[in-house]
Amino acid sequence: MLSPPVASFAINILENERGELLFLKRSPAAQIAPGRWGFPAGHIEKGEKPEDCAVRELTEEIGAEISVEPVQVVGPVRDSLYGGKYEAWLFHARWIGGSVRLNHEHTDYAWVSREKFRDYDPMDGTDEDIWYLRIWPVKYLRADKLPKKKA
Q: What's the CA gap between 28 and 114, in Å, rounded?
A: 25
Distance CA 6, CA 3 (A): 9
As for how many domains the chain has, the answer is 1
In a domain, 1, yes or no: no
Over residues 94-107, the pLDDT tens digits come to 999 999 999 999 99
Residue 151 lies in a domain: no
pLDDT tens for each residue of 5-47: 889 999 999 999 999 999 999 999 998 899 999 999 999 999 9
Question: Which residues constitute the domain of residue 104?
Answer: 7-145
* CATH assignment of the domain containing 93: 3.90.79.10
Q: Confidence class of residue 1 from pLDDT cuts 50, 70 and 90?
A: low
Count of C-beta atoms within a 10 Å radius of residue 43: 13
